[in-house]
Structure 1
């Protein structure tokens, strides 16, 4: 090993506090150090190549090593490196807001920039509460979201998140958030054989929750177009149309949390466009710059801006780096590349093949379900395919962290093995990928999941007298 590599390892272990990381994992092992990216691939400090099957973290839409985006950042930094949007503006933020408003559906016409996705979610909740106070409905402050859904790590966004194990160590959180069932039809407690009926049932649970809490107290419903946590739950037919009806009936804002789904992940600029519904607010981040600079945004309906245009009013909220000149300049270059290189068209032309290629993995005993849309898929792993029996916590630990994560990485595929809900492998490759990358993903998964299945066969099966633990967890009515 070189002295430089040894220094990096020592410094990483002594000083770098990594995010969502079990640091004991590296007590006797090296920290993986990625040093370079090119196209859809990453390279570690030893020169080994990996297909970036997660687009970094659902971020790198255009892939790595783009000189045009790097040059856009450098040019902007030379001209104007920083200027806050606190009562002032700068050209790249203005131009980007104009461009995003043109993409956004319906009357979503006002763009509030943040540093990232959690801040965008935080901003949306604050706006909802502030809006209803200014319009004479001060008690409307509660939020409804879905079980197992992830919406961010700030105190407000974490409160909206539906993952109890991520929240308990940070209690007490912001009160007045409530959970409803998600759209995991694979484990649907009702109407599992009728997607449309299931979608209506799941949407109607939002109306039940609003009634239970009192319509005069509920401000917003936060939903992802395709829910990420739990392993890519697309909406059943008619689901969002029914949700829109419910929100209109009870005067509740529909927030489409598209931090992952916006900017091409589903083959459209916004997931709301893909599934044909009109939100009141969109939250977004990640793919807006393809990861070349940090940026997020809340896109709001014109009517939500109107109370703040009155004399003396303001939305008393903001972030130092929200709408940073370098980030907004990079985002403009990123979106230009989307248009010039027909990135959305690439996703739409390849998604059917991507789906069918992954679905062939269902012949493996360990693969229970393959679900998703666009370039965004989850593969659910099961202990018993016939009964859909899932793995308990200890088994998931041994399977996912004890074998699967490391084996996939060793095989040259960077993706995510996750058990927030039932165990899944998540895939979200750069949007520039084509059949060559799709075939590599599938071949690597087949090899590694075949071995994982052999290991799973050594785990004891339940008697079948109770529902699988993951099925129970996915529909929990957790609240805080």
Structure 2
């Protein structure tokens, strides 16, 4: 959830037009949310002139930072040349070039790129292609998807069925049938092998095989996992976890989908996070950082094996989006990837991730902080009532802190980040990839001050 998802974050009269806007994931009873007017580098400004550190890259999106005029210039030039044409039986030069570039950067034989306008659409596309793949290869009963508890994979009906957050789904049920859940990799809350990451990873991966066997291997089409799980607060993979998952998927002829909507494009210091964590998926879904948010674009990328039956005569994947592969979005994505290369953003993350983690872990001396975890430029601070027992907050306390106090206080103190309690209560930070120690220190300082004040409310 974004900062505004938890209700009012500032006071004052509503801006003109606020009564007509329906914000996403937001209580409409809120009087006013911050109005963000501009951005530059790692900072944003609101309509009251306040400068705030963007500690969430917008929504895990603005990898190259705000205000990149060179990206705006590329967009304007492409719009003047060709503002729009669909990829429904046609192509445009920037779309062709971007597909080639993504395929070259992806590990193994992930060579075929299907463009969408965002991450949820990419996940939706992955499930649909998995279903049709098994129909085309003579196994029509394989349609179910295994995903992890608390994991978020998008809001379309299929992606929502894959999502492991019951509270996000109950207003829209019944959903697309076929989504099933297994445990995630939150070792901080583990009841099995909590002191042995390798054994814990094996245990968590084996629950996937257990679910496949329970449902029947002839009915399971895919396993959908994030390299680092977002919801619940940055659950990193234990050693050997994804290697074991790959073995399980191969054994039971199940497609492994790496949902990298957040994790791709430098968030963990590599173009695709699966490469960093050492596993080869059959399908990758990605979006967000592909264009650093300068235009909406996402993609599903498949291996040669997955696309092969679709290459047969008269076969069609009857699926698409009007704005998928938009030429302006593709052009700015290419320019964004040029910045990744010229400014060595992946290398910057790898060089600084240890320092970022060390800086964030300073917060462990606060009584309200139970755990600090993450990887790359993607970290979470879990809040507790008792560090010794790991006692979590009550529903009333979550309402007070996560939805009431923290969003406004953090923003007023100069930091935009993400208080969230879709799992246990956490505060997440994921700054632009241009950041370094100065920004890390600022994030830690504001979090320390705000969480110290917040602890008095418990």
Q: State the TM-score, normalized to the length of structure 1.
A: 0.92
Q: How far apart are the structure 2 equivalents of 1:249 and 1:161?
A: 25
Name the counterpart of 1:22: 27
Q: Does 1:409 align with 2:441?
A: no
Name the counterpart of 2:221: 219
**Offset of 1:126 from its aligned partner?**
0.1
Name the counterpart of 2:7: none
**Offset of 1:308 from its aligned partner?**
1.0
Q: Which sections of structure 2, spanning at least 5 residues, go unmatched?
A: 1-11
Q: How far apart are the structure 2 equivalents of 1:393 and 1:50?
A: 29
Query: How does 1:55-94 map onto structure 2 within 5 Å?
Result: 55-94=57-96
Q: How far apart are the structure 1 equivalents of 2:100 and 2:435?
A: 29
**Offset of 1:7 from its aligned partner?**
9.6
Aligned residue for 1:51, secondary structure, equals: strand
Query: How does 1:325-340 map onto structure 2 within 5 Å?
Result: 325-340=327-342
**Offset of 1:454 from its aligned partner?**
2.0
**Offset of 1:414 from its aligned partner?**
0.2
Segment drifting more, 178-187 vs 401-410: 401-410
Q: How far apart are the structure 2 equivalents of 1:240 and 1:278?
A: 9
The answer to whether the 8 A contact 1:343-1:432 is kept is: yes
Name the counterpart of 1:341: 343
Aligned residue for 1:243, secondary structure, equals: helix
Provide the alpha-carbon RMSD of the alignment. 0.9
Aligned residue for 1:442, secondary structure, equals: helix
Per-residue deviation, residues 376-416 of structure 1 (Å, max 9, x unmatched): 00100000000000012111011112211111011010001
Name the counterpart of 1:9: 15
Name the counterpart of 1:468: none
Name the counterpart of 1:153: 155
Name the counterpart of 1:118: 120
Aligned residue for 1:9, secondary structure, equals: coil
Q: Which sections of structure 1, spanning at least 5 residues, go unmatched?
A: 1-5, 457-480
Aligned residue for 1:25, secondary structure, equals: coil
The equivalent position to 1:202 in structure 2, one of 193, 199, 204, is 204
Name the counterpart of 1:379: 381
Q: State the TM-score, normalized to the length of structure 2.
A: 0.97
**Offset of 1:353 from its aligned partner?**
0.5
Segment drifting more, 299-308 vs 250-259: 299-308
Name the counterpart of 2:183: 181
The answer to whether the 8 A contact 1:9-1:31 is kept is: no
Aligned residue for 2:440, secondary structure, equals: helix
Q: How far apart are the structure 1 equivalents of 2:37 and 2:45?
A: 6
**Offset of 1:25 from its aligned partner?**
2.2
Aligned residue for 1:65, secondary structure, equals: coil
Query: How does 1:392-407 map onto structure 2 within 5 Å?
Result: 392-407=394-409
Aligned residue for 1:23, secondary structure, equals: coil
Per-residue deviation, residues 199-237 of structure 1 (Å, max 9, x unmatched): 000000000000000000000000000000000000000
Count of residues in Structure 1 that have an aligned counterpart in Structure 2: 447
Name the counterpart of 2:109: 107
Per-residue deviation, residues 165-223 of structure 1 (Å, max 9, x unmatched): 00000000001110000000000020000000000000000000000000000000000
Q: How far apart are the structure 2 equivalents of 1:8 and 1:330?
A: 34
**Offset of 1:87 from its aligned partner?**
0.7
**Offset of 1:8 from its aligned partner?**
6.9
Aligned residue for 2:218, secondary structure, equals: coil
Aligned residue for 2:159, secondary structure, equals: helix
Query: How does 1:388-467 map onto structure 2 within 5 Å?
Result: 388-456=390-458
Q: How far apart are the structure 2 equivalents of 1:426 and 1:8?
A: 28
